């Protein structure tokens, strides 16, 4: 299994309704966006985002669900990322609410660029979709056995319970920038 090494983009996780001109800190030619939902908004449809991939799939963690994330989805994302101009530095990953599909995709892309994915899995605001994470990692060339992903999911649940017990999320934020 050969590994695909991705460029280490600054990754922004957010819901599609938050995609607006205010969400982008850099000139548009330095940004790219991947949307995992067919949900849209005027800015997303306006053509202002120069580099975007809209690839809707349901938030399903079972592969048998019609349209569930699969190898073809993952390969389309990899092709999109490998085709981006060198000047693109920031990657926005969106889904309907910014809590499951986009964090899972962001975690796998962090791994694919040689970085740790803890910023996603240990964040109590996120509940990464395990199917998206495993399939994306597989297509990137990283073997992710189900038991290993189950432990990541368990750690994520524990972070959430700790945050609830404390009454705050601690150092974590929702829609955090990932480096």
Answer yes or no: is 2 within a domain. no
Q: What pLDDT sits at residue 93?
A: 97
Answer yes or no: is 1 within a domain. no
Which residues neighbour 128 within 8 Å (Cβ) at sequence distance 6 or greater?
100, 103, 104, 107, 120, 121, 152, 153, 156
Q: Which pLDDT band holds residue 176 (cuts at 50, 70, 90)?
A: low
Mean pLDDT for the stretch of residues 23-45: 94
- CA distances 29 to 21, 57, 82, 91, Å, are 13, 26, 16, 11
Nearest CA to 96 out of 13, 15, 12, 14 is that of: 15
List the CATH number of the domain containing 138. 3.90.190.10
Q: How many domains does the chain have?
A: 1
Look at the block and give the residue holding tokens 């073997």. Answer: 143
Answer yes or no: is 5 within a domain. no
Q: Find out whether 103 and 126 touch, Cβ atoms under 8 Å.
A: yes
- CA distances 140 to 12, 50, 102, 119, Å, are 20, 25, 16, 19
Answer yes or no: is 169 within a domain. yes
Answer yes or no: is 40 within a domain. yes
pLDDT (tens digit per residue) in 89-142: 999 999 999 899 999 999 999 999 999 999 999 999 899 999 999 999 999 999
Answer yes or no: is 3 within a domain. no
Q: What pLDDT sits at residue 116?
A: 94
Task: Tell whether the model's pLDDT for residue 168 goes beyond 80.
Answer: no
Q: Which pLDDT band holds residue 164 (cuts at 50, 70, 90)?
A: confident
Q: What pLDDT sits at residue 29?
A: 97
Share of the chain above pLDDT 70, in %: 93
Q: What pLDDT sits at residue 126?
A: 92
pLDDT (tens digit per residue) in 130-162: 999 999 999 999 988 888 999 999 999 998 898
**Rounded Cα gap, residues 37 and 118, in angstroms:** 24
**Rounded Cα gap, residues 123 and 119, in angstroms:** 6
Range of the domain at 57: 10-178
Q: What pLDDT sits at residue 146?
A: 84
pLDDT (tens digit per residue) in 47-72: 999 999 999 999 999 999 999 999 99
**Rounded Cα gap, residues 179 and 173, in angstroms:** 14
b/e code 147-166 from CB counts within 10 Å (16+ = b): eebeebbeebeebbeebeee
Task: Tell whether the model's pLDDT for residue 179 goes beyond 60.
Answer: no
**Rounded Cα gap, residues 42 and 131, in angstroms:** 30
């Amino acid at each position: 299994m050969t590994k695909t090494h991705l460029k280490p983009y600054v990754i922004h996780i957010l819901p599609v309704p938050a995609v607006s001109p205010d969400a982008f800190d850099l000139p548009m030619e330095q940004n790219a966006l991947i949307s995992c939902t067919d949900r849209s908004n005027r800015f997303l449809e306006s053509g202002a985002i120069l580099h975007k991939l809209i690839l809707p799939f349901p938030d399903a963690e079972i592969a048998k669900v019609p349209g569930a994330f699969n190898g073809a989805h993952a390969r389309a994302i990899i092709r999109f990322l490998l085709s981006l101009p060198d000047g693109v530095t920031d990657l926005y990953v969106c889904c309907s609410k910014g809590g499951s599909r986009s964090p899972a995709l962001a975690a796998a892309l962090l791994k694919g660029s040689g970085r740790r994915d803890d910023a996603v899995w240990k964040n109590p605001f996120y509940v990464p979709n395990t199917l998206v994470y495993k399939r994306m990692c597989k297509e990137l060339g990283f073997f992710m056995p189900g038991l290993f992903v189950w432990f990541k999911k368990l750690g994520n649940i524990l972070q959430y319970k700790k945050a609830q017990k404390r009454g705050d999320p601690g150092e974590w934020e929702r829609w955090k920038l990932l480096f």
